[in-house]
């Protein structure tokens, strides 16, 4: 069995270096070969030396592929990773973000689950790592709020998902393990028309479900998310929620699952809920600040979608 571990990256050499260091500590069962593929999606190549200098990773696996993809777009970068994986003969393709680090048994858990129940696509939990630095009380407050959110997402996934059925849990590419046959045989690919909007992994998951492909969840295949300190700002969290809402609106419209009147009704309902719990932000900001920001962003993103505007969330980069 050959597994390609793929990392799209853009303008974040320090985070990429930490990610590559963590991959060198991965455990792999006998009979499995691992290839690490890094696709730098940027106008100019900046990270080639980071990859070539990852000596522990080279000595651990001996097969690392670096590819510069100057055509910008997160879906373009992902599809480039997939094509390189398939060309190298990979049976399975795993994705991890460049600001994440996996537990040493991350691949072991996914492989073990695949042997237990054969599915086409699997996901696993993403946990929030403590940032190396914060800029004050507001950062710490946002960190606590985000930690609550990450934990709530994981608790829900544990309740509704199993190794052989992901249930209501959407599998996204920050912890993702997929059979190469999904691309080569079933023809599911990331939608490059999305450009800088994001949401390509959600659309990919929905495409898999529509085709009747099996999906699962591995509750102990854990990766850690190392958020750049810039993402602890309330403005960033508002923008992220806004852009996610916008991308989700356009996805549901493409699938015929949403109408403008229904959207406007949901905006009104969300707006009422926002007014109701707004005072709670002052009383318990750790619990309600992030919810307030995300609800506000959701409303704005939906309104932008109704007006025809599209997100460009990945046009800018946070972290280094």
* pLDDT tens string 90-133: 999 999 999 999 999 999 999 999 988 899 999 999 999 987 66
Say if residue 274 is in the same domain as residue 212: no
Q: State both tokens at 209.
A: 């479900």
161 within some domain: yes
125 within some domain: yes
48 within some domain: yes
Among the candidates 213, 231, 249, a domain finishes at 231
At 140, the pLDDT band (50, 70, 90 cuts) reads confident
Q: Give percent helix, percent strand, percent coil of the chain, each to the nearest 5.
A: 50, 15, 35
> Is the pLDDT score of 200 beyond 90?
yes
Question: Which 3 state secondary structure label does DSSP give 60?
Answer: helix
What is the percentage of the chain residues whose pLDDT exceeds 70?
A: 99
- List of E strands, 41-86: 64-68
102 within some domain: yes
Say if residue 109 is in the same domain as residue 58: yes
Bridge partners (DSSP) listed for residue 217: 123
Cα distance between residue 90 and residue 57, in whole Å: 18
Query: Across residues 202-228, what is the average pLDDT?
Result: 96
Cα distance between residue 66 and residue 57, in whole Å: 13
Say if residue 160 is in the same domain as residue 260: no
| pLDDT of 134 | 62
Q: What are phi and psi of 279, to 5 degrees?
A: -60, -25
pLDDT-wise least confident of 148-152, 205-209, 286-290: 286-290
Query: Across residues 175-183, what is the average pLDDT?
Result: 97
Say if residue 93 is in the same domain as residue 227: yes
Say if residue 220 is in the same domain as residue 263: no
Among the candidates 215, 231, 247, a domain finishes at 231
> Is the pLDDT score of 177 beyond 70?
yes
Cα distance between residue 318 and residue 247, in whole Å: 19
| Domain extent for 58 | 2-231
What is the percentage of the chain residues whose pLDDT exceeds 90?
A: 70
| Contact between residue 41 and residue 77 where contact means Cβ atoms under 8 Å apart | yes
Say if residue 202 is in the same domain as residue 90: yes
| pLDDT of 213 | 97
Say if residue 53 is in the same domain as residue 120: yes
Say if residue 171 is in the same domain as residue 185: yes
Q: What is the pTM of this model?
A: 0.92
């Amino acid at each position: 069995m050959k597994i390609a571990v793929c990392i799209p990256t853009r303008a974040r050499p320090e985070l990429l270096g930490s990610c590559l260091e963590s991959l060198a500590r991965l455990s792999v069962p006998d009979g499995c070969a691992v290839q690490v593929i890094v696709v730098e999606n940027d106008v100019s190549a900046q990270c080639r030396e980071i990859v070539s200098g990852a000596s522990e990773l080279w000595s651990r696996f001996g097969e690392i592929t670096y590819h510069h993809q100057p055509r910008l777009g997160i879906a373009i970068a992902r599809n480039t990773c997939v094509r390189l994986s398939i060309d190298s003969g990979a049976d399975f393709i795993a994705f991890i973000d460049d600001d994440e680090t996996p537990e040493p048994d991350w691949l072991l858990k996914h492989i073990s689950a695949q042997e237990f129940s054969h599915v086409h696509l699997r996901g696993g939990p993403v946990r929030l790592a403590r940032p190396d630095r914060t800029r004050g009380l507001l950062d710490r407050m946002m960190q606590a709020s985000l930690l609550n959110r990450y934990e709530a997402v994981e608790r829900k996934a544990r309740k509704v998902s199993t190794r052989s059925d992901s249930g209501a849990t959407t599998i996204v590419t920050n912890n993702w393990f997929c059979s190469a046959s999904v691309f080569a045989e079933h023809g599911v690919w990331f939608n490059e028309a999305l450009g800088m909007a994001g949401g390509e992994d959600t659309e990919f998951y929905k495409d898999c479900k529509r085709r009747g492909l099996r999906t699962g969840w591995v509750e102990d295949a854990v990766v850690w998310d190392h958020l750049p300190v810039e993402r602890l700002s309330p403005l960033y969290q508002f923008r992220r929620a806004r852009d996610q809402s916008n991308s989700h609106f356009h996805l549901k419209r493409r699938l015929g699952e949403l109408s403008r009147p229904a959207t406007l009704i949901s905006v009104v309902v969300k707006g009422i809920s926002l007014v109701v719990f707004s005072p709670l932000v002052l009383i318990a900001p750790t619990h309600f600040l992030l919810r307030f920001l995300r609800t506000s962003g959701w409303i704005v993103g939906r309104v932008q979608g109704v007006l025809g505007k599209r997100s460009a969330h990945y046009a800018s980069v946070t972290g280094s």
